[in-house]
Amino acid sequence: MSEESEGVSGRRGTGGKSIVRPYGDTTGDGMVQVSFTLPVPHDKRAEGAAVQLANRMGMDPAMLVHAKPIGDGFTFFVVYGRVNHLVDLSTVQVVERDFPLLSAKEVNAVVKRRLRRKLSVVGACIGTDAHTVGIDAILNVKGIAGEKGLEYYRELKVTNLGAQVSVPELVEAARRERADAVLVSQVVTQRDAHLHNTREMSAAFREALPAGRRPLLIVGGPRFDETMTAELGVDRIFGRGTTPGEVASYLVHALVTSRKAGVA
């Protein structure tokens, strides 16, 4: 697919605006910037290796704009260059929000009227993950960016187990708290630890609880693919930039309003 054949200039093409290409200095010039690390000491050969790698990634010309040693035998690079790849927006697959975004007042009102009890939420970072910033931002009353966390919601009962919680401990806490939903944050991704931990967690809940009594399983973190819910055995995946209000609205949608009358 060439620029000429598609008539592309930045963002233009089939259907008006479905084909796009990167933009750097001028619209539609195809310029991109990438950064990476090579396990080599910083010298001229290392810089040449970085350019060669960028060429093989499809950047032509590739210009090395930054190189810095970041430890014994490692160098960090930033390369700027042109690519000929195009993106067809009509073929892009993402998970878009399929539930209404509610205010805290609306969430409380729906839970109180329809559920007639507090909605129980248990959250944790599981495995060796000690990065609680994400789960705390969603659960703790202080929230994030001026938006209050789920502890602020009067009709939600929140239990935050913190960091490095084992899967058996999480399952037991969910039983004890009669959790309607379990929220797990995973930031550590080395060797796909976030995927392994999530699969272990979902399998443990399937083994421990029958389908009708199993809590809603939700995971979140910066490296999750939101389309992998079925593969990971969870009900929802939230990615970067998720707010407490989005999570609360989803809980109401999944556990209250989307269920038939008398089930919730």
- What confidence tens digit (pLDDT) does each residue in 45-83 have? 999 999 999 999 999 999 999 999 998 999 999 999 999
Confidence of residue 193 (pLDDT cuts 50, 70, 90): confident
pLDDT (tens digit per residue) in 152-182: 999 999 999 999 999 999 999 999 999 999 9
Section 204-233 average pLDDT: 93
pLDDT (tens digit per residue) in 235-251: 999 998 899 999 999 99
Residues, the chain, total? 264
Backbone torsions φ then ψ of 251, nearest 5 degrees? -60, -45
> How far is CA 28 from each of CA 3, 64, 134, rounded to the nearest angstrom?
9, 21, 36
Instruction: For residue 69, give the amino acid letter.
Output: P
Distance CA 82, CA 90 (A): 23
Confidence of residue 257 (pLDDT cuts 50, 70, 90): confident
pLDDT at 16: 59
Distance CA 195, CA 201 (A): 10
Confidence of residue 5 (pLDDT cuts 50, 70, 90): very low
Evaluate if residue 13 carries a pLDDT over 50. no
Structural domains in the chain plus CATH codes? 19-89 (3.30.30.60), 104-258 (3.40.50.280)
Q: Which among 14-23, 57-66, 187-196 has the top mean pLDDT?
A: 57-66
- Pairing of β 74-82 and β 31-38: antiparallel
Is residue 142 part of the annotated active site? The answer reads yes
- Pairing of β 216-220 and β 236-238: parallel
pLDDT at 142: 92
Helix axes of 193-208 and 167-176: crossing angle, nearest 10 degrees: 40
pLDDT at 17: 67
Distance CA 181, CA 194 (A): 19
pTM of the predicted protein model: 0.78
pLDDT at 2: 40
Q: Give me the catalytic one of 112, 142, 148, 260.
A: 142
Section 189-215 average pLDDT: 91
- For residues 123 and 161, the answer to whether their CB atoms sit within 8 Å is yes
Backbone torsions φ then ψ of 196, nearest 5 degrees? -60, -45
Confidence of residue 222 (pLDDT cuts 50, 70, 90): confident
Q: Which among 25-29, 33-37, 135-139 has the top mean pLDDT?
A: 33-37
Evaluate if residue 127 carries a pLDDT over 90. no
Instruction: For residue 136, give the amino acid letter.
Output: D
pLDDT at 260: 55
The token pair that represents 199 in the structure block: 């699969």
Residue 101's contacts (CB-CB under 8 Å, 6 or more residues apart) are: 245, 246, 249
